[in-house]
Chains A and B, each alone.
Chain A
Amino acid sequence: MSRPTRIALKVAVWGGCLAPLALLGHRAWTDDLGANPVSFVTNTLGDWTLRILLASLAMTPLRIVFGLAWPITLRRLLGLFAFAYACLHFSVWIVLDFFFDWPRMWADIVKRPYITVGMLALLSLIPLAATSTTEMIRRLGARAWTRLHRLVYVTGVCAVLHYLWLAKVGVTDPYWYAGALAVLLGVRGWDRGRRLVRRRRRAAVPATSAPAGS
């Protein structure tokens, strides 16, 4: 992939990820956040956290299914944006919703399963964000880094559960997100299984009929 293409893609991701925030800012500025602004801001940030997280989880499946290389170059950026939105979502909860009422928030974290898994999703992103630099990949070594970053599957599951468990009867959006996550993780599972079978077959080849002179 040429350098201009790579730059254009990154610019598009930056633009796409910052647009919802800009729109939210614009709405706040023009007093257009509706009757319940705190709830609106919290929900909007939550929605975009989940969408961007799923987008970051979609990059590897794009390579697996379509053999595309470029999505991988966007994975880190998307992941970091998901983390940024998660932090904003969490900050709004602390500051606007409960105004630093720590005992009340702690009670909710412990008592309300949807908040417990939401916290787990956020916490699981911290080590991933902290080890996202090229320097950290080098220091950890590719194998350990890859293993650590599988934690994002836990993030995805917790984030979807967070939405599923908080949504009221009749709201179907979380099921679509759950379906999308299932597909994205399913493609990985299928690919892993496929490679395992191939490796076994290859391992079995020399014992039976190694073609001479190949």
Chain B
Amino acid sequence: MLIRRAPRFTASEITDPKLYLSRRELISGTVAALVLRPGQSDGATPQGQPLSATRNAAFSLSEPATKFEHATTYNNFYEFGVNKDDPSRLGGTLRPRPWTVQVDGFVHKPKTFDIDELIRLFPLEERVYSLRCVEAWSMVIPWIGFPLASLLKRVEPTGQGKFVEFTTLLDPSQFPAQKPGFFGYSSLDWPYVEGLRLDEATHPLTLLTVGMYGKVLPNQNGAPVRVVVPWKYGFKSAKSIVRIRLVSEQPKTSWEKAAAQEYGFYSNVNPAVSHPRWSQADERRIGEFRRRPTLPFNGYADQVASLYTGLDLKKFY
């Protein structure tokens, strides 16, 4: 499915790549020092290495990207801990190579892909998306990846699969917070499971992501492969994926298990539906001082609203 749409901005609004790259160089030194730990910079873990991709202007925002430093130090990645700085502090334990992704379920050609094979199979695109966290903050991030639809097409869905289930790696030796804490306490029921309806998963905006800011995806951002679904709250975009499965029933997601009344299966960004404890009407864009209004479907309404015609978004939040 290819939906052609007029770009939402003119070519002159796009940041000149030279400017963009120079800023990147400026930051990369500092970030490398922050992110890389001793013993981590060996060839086995390519995070931080450049990754080339063609900018897909039709799917990119014209707004300036969030600082790389902020996008890599202010993260929610519960496998490392519940605090925003846990993923960047503790991310060194994750080993993104070797890595395989099992794609199975209701497909004619189930297959386990090696991560490097996966990256070579499909042309990589750079897309600048807005990321809206359910906690009412947002970022603008240049992701690198390819449409999840391309991968799903390759394994040939059988028609019985109505949903796509994503599973994150379960390995307490790589994800410290997966070890039980006091009294066997665990923040979430591991492994992390997320899901999309098949039409959401195959929507051209849904990006299987292996890099950001012109580089291989950092551990704290979901290395080596994650999904990015820009019209939904960030937690819907599963990180460090080991399995993509086509299923016939709506998957039971980790956050639904933890607090179903707060984190629904759909979790489309919606300023009209409050989180039970706070408003979703506005958000703080990281790097900006004042709050800004939140847009329906995080600004992607013209592309995705049609997926939900006839669905009560207040009920199916």
Contact = CB atoms under 8 A, between A and B. Distances in A.
Co-complex (A, B) = yes
Interface of B: 66-67, 69-71, 73-74, 78, 82, 84-85, 135, 137, 181-182, 185, 187-188, 255, 258-259, 262, 274, 277-279, 284, 286-287, 289-291
Interface string A155-185: 0000000000110111110000000000000
Contacts of B78: 170
Nearest to B78: A170
Interface in A102-132: 107-108, 111-114
B188 A169 contact: yes
Closest 4 CB pairs of A and B: A170-B187, A35-B74, A35-B70, A170-B82
Task: Tell me the dominant secondary structure on chain B's binding face.
Answer: loop
A149 B258 CA distance: 40
A169 B258 contact: yes
B264 to A, nearest CB: 14
Interface string A29-69: 00000111011000000000000000000000000000000
Contacts of B182: 172
A14 interface: no
Interface hub of B71, B82, B135 (most chain A Cβ within 10 A): B82
A36 B82 contact: no
Nearest to B258: A169
B7 to A, nearest CB: 29
Contact of A112 (B66, B85, B258, B277): B277
Contact of A38 (B82, B262, B278, B284): B284
A36 B83 CA distance: 13
B74 A169 contact: no
Contacts of B188: 169-170
Contacts of A38: 284, 289
Contacts of A70: none
Nearest to A40: B84
A99 interface: yes
A114 B276 CA distance: 11
Given A36-B137, A36-B284, A114-B277, A169 B73 contact: no
Nearest to A37: B289
A98 interface: yes
B291 A98 contact: yes
B137 A39 contact: yes
A165 B181 CA distance: 22
Nearest to A97: B291
